[in-house]
Amino acid sequence: MRSGTPSSVSGQIIMPVPLHAPAPPDIFRHHVAGSWVETTVSARWSYRNEHGQLLGYACRFNLPDGGKEIVPQVYGKTNDKTSWQWKAFPVPRPLYGIDRLAASAIGALVIVCEGEKTADAAQRLYPEAIALTWPGGSKAVAKADFSPLAGRTVVIWPDADKCGYEAALDIAEHLGRLGSTVHIIAPPENVKSGWDLADAEAEGWETVQVMHFIAANTMSVSDFTHLAKGLYSITARYHKLNFQKSIVHIKAGKDDIVDDCESILSRPDLPIEYRIFQRGSILVRLAKLQTTS
């Protein structure tokens, strides 16, 4: 599976989506290998805020080669015209499942896994927990807003591959800075690369089995770090939340430079004097003005 490459964020994205907005289109038309290709949405997941209001969608497309692609879909205004657009959520991006998190007790267990399909499977397999994910896949952890999980008890269930383990450690770092209690699940041994809870559901796992597996395979972040080093030679994490080490690499063909800059400038841990905010259609920064007494 790969995340789609929507156009760079421009214009104004409207969140929540107005009630009068039309139904979103199912056809994604994009340029591939010199020609235009049209693909049709095979699944759509709704991102909502804590009040249940729609923020946008993540849409799945089945590819001719048997693969799948996930592309975000938002509602916005460009050149004074409002429409549905194949664009990413603005940074910091909302989590999938915030509406059910808001409706839960503060002490409810939170399970963070990768992908909307997997989060839905996790929710069905463990109804008493709250299953969440973030948009954009393993490479977009730093662009997500994990602040709603501050102070929560969180279990991260990664995909069974190197990218999944790296994403889990990145999420654990974010949540640790938010004061959350964090543990990480070690996926089963000898499963296929990328195995996740959606695969577990397809294989016939039930709630009791999931609960027993969590109880037997929950690890501290430190212990999971050692496991990741042994399995995938993950030796050191680049600290995305370290302001002094935030670097944007400018390379030919790199199409997410704007997203990378937004990720740094809108981060909740960034000193307030450096953060950038959106006011209407312009970017603004907070400042202190001297006054005469």
Range of the domain at 199: 98-232
How high is the pLDDT of residue 266?
64
Q: What does the alpha-carbon distance between residue 116 and residue 73 come to, in Å, rounded to a whole number?
A: 14
Q: How confident is the model at residue 152 (pLDDT cuts 50, 70, 90)?
A: very high
Instruction: Identify the bridge partners of residue 31 per DSSP, sorted by sequence position.
Output: 36
Average pLDDT over residues 264-271: 60
Please indicate, yes or no, if residue 178 is contained in any of the structural domains.
Answer: yes
Average pLDDT over residues 262-286: 67
Q: What does the alpha-carbon distance between residue 265 and residue 283 come to, in Å, rounded to a whole number?
A: 11
CATH label of the domain that carries residue 216: 3.40.1360.10
Q: How confident is the model at residue 85 (pLDDT cuts 50, 70, 90)?
A: very high
Scanning the structure block, which residue is given the tokens 């909302």? Answer: 94
Domain boundary among 232, 251, 275: 232
How high is the pLDDT of residue 97?
98
Q: How confident is the model at residue 235 (pLDDT cuts 50, 70, 90)?
A: confident
65 and 29: one domain? yes
How high is the pLDDT of residue 34?
78
In angstroms, the Cα distances linking 150 to 50, 57, 131, 179 are 15, 24, 15, 6
Lowest mean pLDDT among 101-110, 156-165, 259-268: 259-268
* Domain count along the chain: 3
User: Beta strands 110-113 and 153-157: pairing type?
Assistant: parallel
Which three-class secondary structure state does DSSP give residue 1?
A: coil
Q: What does the alpha-carbon distance between residue 263 and residue 94 come to, in Å, rounded to a whole number?
A: 13
pLDDT tens-digit map of 22-79: 999 999 887 767 788 889 999 999 999 999 999 999 999 988 778 889 999 999 999 8
In angstroms, the Cα distances linking 123 to 43, 118, 131, 169, 201 are 17, 9, 5, 22, 11
138 and 199: one domain? yes
How high is the pLDDT of residue 263?
67
Instruction: Identify the bridge partners of residue 59 per DSSP, sorted by sequence position.
Output: 44, 71
138 and 224: one domain? yes
Please indicate, yes or no, if residue 92 is contained in any of the structural domains.
Answer: no
How high is the pLDDT of residue 242?
45
* CA terminus-to-terminus distance, the chain: 61
Average pLDDT, the chain: 87
